[in-house]
Amino acid sequence: MTYECFLSFSFKPFNNGMEDTMTVSARREFFSTLALLGGIAAVGAPAPAAAQTPSKRFVKREASERSGYSQAVVTQGERTVWLAGHTGAVDPSGKSLAGDFDAQVREVFAFMERTLVQSGATLSDLVTMTVFLTDPRNHPRMTAIRREILGRDFPASASISISHLASPNALIEIQGVAVVS
């Protein structure tokens, strides 16, 4: 849809070294035309998109399926929750889990679940996670526990080996993104 508009304005002629000024009637005509153009633009503007039906699709491959993650998770029309890094060096009662990798992995996921519930989400809403491990030899064990905890549909994931975490007793840290329907 195309609209054409031709504007004409009356200006007071340059007078006695003073600046050019618009007459009152020219100002009225200018602002009336401006309002008209704004109305025409609003009529021709596209309508807001209709609400999208929330959806989530998991892109899987055999190798990633064995390791308990998806190559990608495609989402549409939902709310996003960004999780900070979660560690599990201590349990909720304050007991140290130093040196117990399995317990730390389980505690990290439990801690993430508590955070997600406070955000109106669950672990099943995770679409991606980044796992930081202080020992890459722990990756297969983390994968087995993650598969056990998350079940069938896994988030996209990356695993990064680092020398240490902020907490000296932490062996694993996970940050993630959840998308809530």
Asked if residue 25 has pLDDT above 80, the reply is: no
166-176: pLDDT as tens digits: 999 999 999 99
The residue among 163 and 74 whose pLDDT is bigger is 163
Give me the pLDDT at residue 6, please.
Answer: 47
pTM above 0.85, yes or no: no
111-166: pLDDT as tens digits: 999 999 999 999 999 999 999 999 999 999 999 999 999 988 889 999 999 999 99
Give me the pLDDT at residue 167, please.
Answer: 92
The residue among 71 and 134 whose pLDDT is bigger is 134
Pairwise CA distance, residues 130 & 108, whole Å: 12
pLDDT band at 52 (very low <50, low <70, confident <90, very high): low
Pairwise CA distance, residues 11 & 129, whole Å: 65
The residue assigned the tokens 């508590």 is 114
Pairwise CA distance, residues 102 & 104, whole Å: 5
Average pLDDT over residues 78-94: 92
